Chain A
Amino acid sequence: MNCSRREMLKVGLGGLSVVSLSGTIPAFLAKFAYADQPSTQPVSDDNILVVIQLSGGNDGLNCVVPYASDAYYKARPVIGIKDRLVKIDDTLALNPGMAAMKDLYDAGQLAIINGCGYPEPNRSHFRSMEIWQTASPTGHEGCGWLGHYLDHCLRGTTNPLTAINVGAQLPTALVADSAPVPSITSLDDFALRVDSSNGPIQAKNEQQIIRDLNTIQDASPAMQFLARQATNALVSADEIHKMKSNYKPDALYPPGLGMELKLIAQIIAGNYGTKLFYCEIGGFDTHSNQVGTHEQVLTQLSTSIAAFHKDLTAKGLNNKVTVMCFSEFGRRVEQNDSNGTDHGAPGPMFVSGGMVKGGLHGQYPSLSQLEDGDLTYTTDFRRVYATLLDKWLNADSATVLQNKFENMSFV
């Protein structure tokens, strides 16, 4: 473990009721909560970033289709999309599954950033995903780029729910040196239950014993790791269940990603001061017979995002939230012989929200000048990250990304 997920929670607990926990609060937390009050102000605004990871390698060419290009149809005689295109101008169209995102585009709330990638692209899912999640094409960082943001820009923030991963497994992007970011799959699961049949006193007693059993001791690294995670979970669960339970969705969310975004909307509506959300949609690794499956997964993506913005708009929150979609790579220009596509290089990113300057950003990659059968990237993906950090999250991107990247104009 390079990045010290094992390190102690450094972020304090000012948002918690220290008094009510005082008898029970583990020593390492209590020390901070009392003695180490934050000296710097957290970022002043309350903007929220939602990152959606498109896992498997989204085929950019069939997602934002260059329908005026002969080279496109020549490279993809079977899978090149000709019908039901959702045209956005004289040369580009969205996949037929993306009508809902076209509505956002027309409303000026969807930025399409074409040709996002990095030098010397890696075609391994896992390595390329690591590169995108750590914003480091050359090194092997243990922490993620959002983890760096939490460490550098929100140090001293006292909220255990500053960032939330919606999903079973924490992505590297959110691995930080400071507090572990909680992963939540449903609010029902996110609570400690004990036997309540013998009355509230004994139940409270049992909860207390579990807290005690999970205080951090001088033990093996694995034991310390588990105790810290458990303590973090118990604290976060207490916090989140203070949330107002009067959330009602103002949009019809589709299953899958839609349910994750619905949970995010619910937490945003609960006003917990969460700055970052992360969720994932899979199914983009389209090596064979891809046309139908790719359209399906894009439909899910598109309708989920549209529902999310509709819901937030109805609640007056859409101007506080920006959504960013990325995938670990695009796919080869030429279709393969299974009517699918193999791993490729750059692809489009999508940024949406009430404050986004919609439209086309970044240059569409050339289909005539290929490198090893792949498109060449035109926008370093870290420029998109830097733009969101500087202009949306009010963070210093040069510190977070350990390099200066020119901002773009989509925010």
Chain B
Amino acid sequence: MAPQPPDRPFDPFVPSDDEPWDRPRIHHLLRRAAIGPTPEQFAALSNLSPGQAVDSLLDYDVAQDPFNDLLTRMEGFFNFNRIEDVQGWFFFRMLGSPRRAQERMALFWHNHFATSASKVDRPKLMHNQIELFRQKGLGSFRDLLLAVARDPAMLVWLDGQASKKGHANENFSRESMELFTLGIGNYTEQDVQELARAFTGWQLQGDQAVFNPKLWDDGEKTIFNTPGKYDSQSAVDLMLAQPAAPKHLAEKLLKEFVHPEPTQDHIDYVAGQLLANNWQIKPVMKQIFTSRLFYSEWAYRSRIKSPVELVAGAIIGLGGKANTDFITQTTARMGQKILFPPNVKGWDGGEAWINANTVLVRFNFGLVLATQQQNIYAERPDVEAMLHGQGATTAPQVVDFFDAMLLDGRLPDDENAKFVQFLENSTTTSAQTRPAFVLNHGTYYKSVRDVMQLMMATPEYQLA
């Protein structure tokens, strides 16, 4: 029977003998909050309580960017007037950052406020928008929404720059209610037209958005049956005052970080927390990531990894320094071309990631990663040395190593046995003359590395 959500879902998770703070739970947290686990992070978080572990991931200081020095030294490496470089820069951060939760939140907001470079054909503006998501990703949703309403890339994407007094453009107005704050059915066509007037007046000047009071419609508007001389700020406040607003965001957060089908009780609870915390995201995320709900069997491996989580997570886990162009192209073939969401609704995600084609691309990615055939790494990880470092020499030890790294050590016994048999049979085709398997350079290339692909071609590995 499929697992059910636990009772007292938002009580803090307290490890016990029955529900230990073990590898599956720590990997689960790192997959959801920080793109993917690494052996080092697993070791570090093992020594912390769940609460301390979550703090260690989310309590970063936005003003102190650990990449600042590096990016300064790399000046010229990323040319933000090329969209490929902006994509590469985003992946470079996801792979290399010591605080991947910040990039993970940026990825979430990139999908929530889905803006595509296909229309915003100024890559620098796309870079600046991702930077906005990085800066405000765990801050106040009110600040973020207001900043997005005035974000240059958004002004291009949803035609805000073309929206002027007497000539309001409805594009941003409609999508901001339908997708960013309320959900369909919670506003009228009149609300769309009136809200559009409130957002007028913002124009692009170079890379900056500036407010031109002459272009702002200063007349009275009636939005949600409430008359007022709204501007973008008071309009954002009015939108967030709608009862649908906290629920809409709560549902998105729960679907992204906990389970694809949260219950209405879960949604209502998180919505209440968003209001109680005055729309501050960080305390709500901390509550989610430390909850009994989050560590339940119900939530564990309940989400299908997005292509970015799959590819970046795999490379992070191996300690590789990847060729970012390879990641951009591979995730695109899996259906997620970063900075080019299919439309303003973003990627549907979940089961929509998976079809006959993308399944095969996912499995084939495992092969490329395992055999390192293509030029996919800026610096190749030495998996053979990792195995030796762990003292893995026999077939069962090798299988257990990959199982722990890729599948949380939860490979069923019968499948574990199949992998052991695969390694032992690989030394020769003849059972009579077969030498015992032992890890060495020959067997590594003969079969050991292939175990990586095979384990990545499991349903389990597609799940976060």
By a beta-carbon cutoff of 8 Å, the part of chain A in contact with chain B is 1, 5, 55-56, 123-127, 165, 168-170, 180-185, 189-195, 197-198, 201-202, 205-206, 209-210, 212-214, 219-223, 225-227, 229-230, 232-234, 236-237, 282-283, 285, 287-288, 336-338, 340, 342-343, 372
Docked complex Cα distance between A1 and B260 (Å):
10
CB of B343 within 8 A of CB of A55, answer: yes
A345 to chain B minimum Cβ distance, whole angstroms, is 12
Which A residues are in CB contact (< 8 Å) with B453?
Answer: 194-195, 206
Interface contact B351-A169, CB-CB below 8 Å: no
**A201–B358 alpha-carbon span in the complex (Å):** 26
What are 23 A-B pairs with beta-carbon distances under 8 A?
Answer: A126-B345, A168-B335, A169-B355, A170-B352, A189-B360, A189-B364, A190-B356, A194-B450, A195-B449, A197-B371, A197-B445, A202-B447, A209-B422, A220-B302, A225-B351, A226-B304, A226-B462, A230-B359, A282-B342, A287-B158, A287-B159, A340-B162, A342-B169
Residues of A with C-beta under 8 A to B460: 223
Indicate if B370 sits at the interface (CB-CB under 8 A): yes
* Chain B min CB distance to A146 (Å): 15
- Scoring A125, A180, A227 by chain B CB atoms within 10 A of each residue's CB, the highest score goes to A125
Instruction: List 4 additional A-B contacts (Cβ < 8 Å) besides A223-B463, A287-B171, A337-B166.
Output: A170-B355, A288-B159, A338-B169, A342-B170
Bound: A180/B355 CA distance, A: 8
**Chain A residue contacts of B422, Cβ below 8 A:** 205-206, 209
A182/B356 in contact, CB under 8 A: yes
Contacts of B457 in A (CB 8 A): 210, 213-214, 230
Asked whether A123 lies within 8 Å of B335 as measured between CB atoms, the reply is: no
Asked whether, in the complex, the Cβ of A190 is within 8 Å of the Cβ of B345, the reply is no
Q: Decide if B357 touches A189 in the complex (CB within 8 Å).
A: yes
The answer to whether B169 and A237 touch across the interface, beta carbons within 8 angstroms, is no
List, in ascending order, chain A residues with CB within 8 A of B158's CB: 287
A366 to B458, CA, bound (A): 57
B436 within 8 A of A: no
CB-based contact B367/A195 at 8 Å: yes
- Asked if B450 contacts A183 (CB within 8 A), the reply is no
Q: Which 7 A-B pairs have the closest CB atoms?
A: A337-B167, A338-B162, A182-B356, A233-B356, A226-B459, A183-B355, A168-B335
Contact B454 A213 (CB under 8 A): yes
Q: How far is the CA of A77 from the CA of B229 in the complex (A)?
A: 31
Q: Which residue, B301, B333, B462, has most C-beta atoms of chain A within 10 A?
A: B462
In the assembled complex, which residues on chain B have CB atoms less than 8 Å from the CB atom of A192? 360, 363-364
Q: Do B447 and A198 touch (CB < 8 A)?
A: yes
CA distance A5 to B462 in the complex (A): 17
Asked whether, in the complex, the Cβ of B171 is within 8 Å of the Cβ of A193, the reply is: no
| Known A-B contacts A195-B367, A337-B166; A222 and B302 likewise in contact (beta carbons under 8 Å) | yes
- Min CB distance B311 to A, Å, is 15
Chain B 31-52 interface residues, beta-carbon cutoff 8 Å to A: none
Q: Is B74 an interface residue (CB 8 A)?
A: no
A198 and B463 form a contact (CB under 8 A): no
**Smallest Cβ-Cβ distance to A202: which chain B residue:** B426
On whether the beta carbons of B356 and A236 are closer than 8 Å, the reply is yes
Docked complex Cα distance between A55 and B116 (Å): 15
CA–CA, A198 and B450, complex, Å: 10
Taken together as a complex, chains A and B put the C-alpha atoms of A206 and B364 apart, in Å, by 12
Distance A221 CA – B429 CA, assembled complex (angstroms): 39
B3/A220 in contact, CB under 8 A: yes
Complex contacts, A287 vs chain B, CB 8 Å? 158-159, 162, 169, 171
CB-contact partner of B359 in A123, A169, A229, A336, under 8 A: A229
Cβ contact within 8 Å between A124 and B169:
no
Most buried by A among B355, B367, B460: B355
Contact A189 B333 (CB under 8 A): yes
Which residues of the other chain, A, contact B304 by a CB distance below 8 angstroms? 222, 226
Report chain A residues within 8 Å CB of B174.
123-124, 343
Q: Nearest chain B CB to A138's CB is how many angstroms away?
A: 14
Say how far B253's CB is from chain A's closest CB, in angstroms: 19
Residues of B within 8 A of A198 (CB): 426, 446-447, 450
Would you give the shortest CB distance from B375 to chain A, in whole angstroms?
Answer: 17
- Closest approach, in angstroms, between the C-beta of A329 and any C-beta of chain B? 13
Residues of B within 8 A of A232 (CB): 356
Partner of A168, one of B162, B168, B344, B358: B358
From residue A283, how far is it (CB to closest CB) to chain B in Å?
Answer: 8
Q: Are A227 and B459 in contact (CB under 8 A)?
A: yes
In the complex, the answer to whether B163 meets A124 with C-beta atoms within 8 Å is no
Give the contacting residue for B364; candidates A193, A282, A338; CB below 8 A.
A193
- Do residues B450 and A195 form an inter-chain contact, with CB atoms below 8 A? yes
| Contact (Cβ within 8 A) B169 A288 | yes
A50 CA to B344 CA in the complex, in Å?
A: 26
Considering the complex, give the chain B residue whose CB is closest to the CB of A209: B454
Q: Are A214 and B335 in contact (CB under 8 A)?
A: no
Q: Among the interface residues B335, B359, B370, B418, which one has the most CB atoms of the partner chain A within 10 A?
A: B359
B75 at the interface (CB under 8 A from A): no
Q: Mark out the residues of chain B between 272 and 317 whose CB falls within 8 Å of any chain A CB in the assembled complex.
A: 301-304
Answer whether residue B61 sits at the interface, using C-beta atoms and an 8 A cutoff: no
Indicate if B178 sits at the interface (CB-CB under 8 A): yes
Q: Give the docked Cα–Cα distance between A376 and B359 (Å).
A: 43
Q: Complex Cα distance A212/B174, Å?
A: 48
Q: Are A191 and B360 neighbours in the complex by a CB distance under 8 Å? A: yes
Greatest chain A CB density within 10 A among B302, B360, B370, B447 is at B360
Closest B-chain residue to A195, C-beta based? B450
Q: How far is the CA of A189 from the CA of B354 in the complex (A)?
A: 14
The docked-state distance in angstroms from the alpha carbon of A55 to that of B343 is 9
Q: Is residue B71 within 8 Å, beta carbon to beta carbon, of the partner chain? A: no
Could you mark each residue 367-383 of chain B with 1 if its beta carbon is under 8 Å from any beta carbon of chain A, else 0? 10011000000000000
B2 located at the interface, meaning its Cβ lies under 8 Å from any Cβ of chain A in the complex: yes
A287 to B174: give the CA distance in the assembly, Å.
Answer: 12
